[in-house]
Amino acid sequence: MKLLAGLGNPGPQYRDTRHNVGFWVVDELARRWGVSDNWRDRFDALSARATYGGESVLLAKPLTFMNLSGLAVSRLAQYFQIEPADTLVVVDEVALPLGRLRARRGGSAGGHNGLKSIVEQLGQEGFPRLRIGVGRGDSRRDLADHVLSKFEPDERMIIEAAVLRAADASEMFITDGIERVMNTFNAATDKQQEDNA
């Protein structure tokens, strides 16, 4: 079984914020796979089971708020006996330009509190993650205010396209693994940035 955990904050006031793009990707996968009505609230997360490419998959949206995401992810992984290498965590990333994707097989939290919580709870950094660039915005603006802000109208098309690509990347993770995702989507977004330069 694979676990796809999109990080965000629960509640309607956070639904459209930059910090919630992980939720958006998981919602898109649930829509594609026809399990949007199958969410269950357990282990401090909304989760839905599905099958994709012959693999059993658990979609999850932690309800613990971003900084405690590891509590829900670790409990789901433990209950369903899912290895860290089979867990893909999808998060926002202010250090990436808007819309850029960056997949990694593991590594540090890189200042992201949601990833930091998961590292602490799993006791290791060896789980794949997919970061979605949400931009940094005005450097004089408080970072917490920025990630809890909504996208500007001229950013919406870019981020919505990025969410669709991130859902594609998540599906590739299930069938082909994180290396293929890295080779395909990291390179594609790097080339896209060059083309737009």
Catalytic pick among 19, 61, 102, 112: 19
CA distances 163 to 23, 99, 117, Å, are 10, 8, 23
Of 173, 132, 126, 102, the closest CA to residue 8 belongs to 132
Burial 162-175 (b: 16+ CB within 10 A, else e): bbebbbbbbbbbbe
CA gap 4, 90 in Å, rounded: 8
Sign, Cα dihedral of 173, 176, 182, 186: negative
Of 196, 128, 129, the closest CA to residue 161 belongs to 196
146 is catalytic: no
Residue 88: strand pairing partners: 4
Token pair recorded at residue 27 = 């919602």
Active centre residues (catalytic)? 19
